[in-house]
Amino acid sequence: MITSARSDVHATITGLGAYAPERVITNEELSQLVETSDEWIIERTGIRERRIAADEQALSDICLPAARTALSQAGLDGKDLDLIVVATVTPDMMFPSTSALLADRLGAADAAAYDLSAGCTGFMYAVAQAYGMVAAGLVQRVLVVGGDVLSRILDWSDRSTVVLFGDGAGAVVLEPSAEPGFLAFELGADGGGGEHLWLPGSGSRLFAEPDRFVKMNGREVFKFATRVLVDSARAVLDQQGMRVEDVDVYVPHQANVRIIDHATKKLGIPSDRVVINVDRYGNTSSGSIPLALADAQVDGRLRAGRLVLMTGMGAGLTWGSALMRWTIGGAA
């Protein structure tokens, strides 16, 4: 599905925040748990370390500081929000929703709140939905949070997954704007590939031996990811009649450096325009893109007027892209 932003209604990001747990697990530490090495992990993934939530930290606990930072940057309080969407596959619990718990802690007593599940693409889906709500005039101020505590659903004896994932969260505030912010979205899903990245036994479907740990067919996921990152990015650019050369900042899902490098080369985007932080955080699923956006803002790459391309992909199998003119901060 490719959707162009409405020409008569504009919405943009007015606040951005991120949070990663304090605990760092290095590749060397992982080598004490599974048969691996720092060299092996770096060569295949580009990951050097990842953050892991403390035992007492649930998803809402790591979303809260990210949300507060985003609200502060937007000049808002929790009571100003009309809607909160939390994109995650690791909520505090199945119900009540993490978004409702977060709303309570932020003082957003009147805000609608729901969780959204689209794997690592969750943040892109949630941003598209938030834009749609603002564009339709149903809400004025939306908090979108993407985050996961994947360490709780990993088999720590499975080398194929524990080296890849980490915990973290990021948040953005969306509001109506005088000038175009979001320009277009492209979203999609292929449930036929769902069994390549799944969590069997976590829902109502019965499995013979459910262990509720992430299962991944790395080869198939790699093939899917390298294809859809490129196809989705091209589709959203083509929809706006823009070229890769027009992109100032490219923020891909931080799954694996090899995947990012493949997409970057295939698209022809110069490496200095690509945001990469997977080496420090690992794959944080729904937290990946907002964490990368926050890093890009800190290092000065996100300036008003710059064209930003975000593309995610993940369990489902799902994918999604957004194209926007950044509107926060000084002009490019």
Regarding predicted confidence, which is higher, 6 or 318? 318
Instruction: Please tell me the predicted confidence (pLDDT) of residue 211.
Output: 86
Among 1-10, 17-26, 282-291, the range scoring the smallest mean pLDDT is 1-10
Phi and psi at 275, nearest 5°, equal -90, 125
**What is the rounded average pLDDT of the residues 307-330?**
95
Closest to 14 (Cα-Cα) out of 170, 248, 249, 171: 171
pLDDT of residue 16 exceeding 70: yes
**What is the rounded average pLDDT of the residues 107-129?**
98
Confidence of residue 169 (pLDDT cuts 50, 70, 90): very high
Task: Give the side-chain half-sphere CA count within 13 A for 185.
Answer: 22
Q: Which helix (H) or strand (E) holds 116?
A: strand 112-116
Instruction: Please tell me the predicted confidence (pLDDT) of residue 330.
Output: 64
Q: What is the rounded CA–CA span in Å between residue 126 and residue 118?
A: 9
Number of residues in the chain: 332
**What is the rounded average pLDDT of the residues 19-38?**
97
The CA radius of gyration of the chain, in Å to the nearest whole number, is: 19
Confidence of residue 7 (pLDDT cuts 50, 70, 90): low
Q: What is the rounded CA–CA span in Å between residue 98 and residue 87?
A: 9
Residues 155-164 have pLDDT tens digits of 999 999 999 9
Instruction: Please tell me the predicted confidence (pLDDT) of residue 208.
Output: 84
**What is the rounded average pLDDT of the residues 97-102?**
98
Enter the DSSP assignment of 6: P
User: Distance between alpha carbon 267 and the CA centroid of its chain, in Å?
Assistant: 21
Confidence of residue 1 (pLDDT cuts 50, 70, 90): confident
Confidence of residue 302 (pLDDT cuts 50, 70, 90): very high
Q: Percentage of the chain with pLDDT > 70?
A: 98
Mean pLDDT, the chain, rounded, equals: 96
pLDDT of residue 331 exceeding 70: no
Task: Give the side-chain half-sphere CA count within 13 A for 128.
Answer: 25
Residues 191-228 have pLDDT tens digits of 999 999 999 999 999 988 778 899 999 999 999 999 99
| Residue 8 buriedness (CB in 10 A; 0-12 / 13-18 / 19+) | exposed
Peptide bond into 323 cis (omega under 30): no
User: Which amino acid appears at position 112 of this protein?
Assistant: A
pTM of the model: 0.96
pLDDT of residue 261 exceeding 70: yes
Regarding predicted confidence, which is higher, 211 or 310? 310
Write out the catalytic residue numbers.
120, 253, 283
Instruction: Please tell me the predicted confidence (pLDDT) of residue 258.
Output: 96
Instruction: Please tell me the predicted confidence (pLDDT) of residue 210.
Output: 75
What domains does the chain contain, in order, with CATH numbers?
A: 1-322 (3.40.47.10)
Q: Percentage of the chain with pLDDT > 90?
A: 94
Instruction: Please tell me the predicted confidence (pLDDT) of residue 237.
Output: 98
**What is the rounded average pLDDT of the residues 247-255?**
98
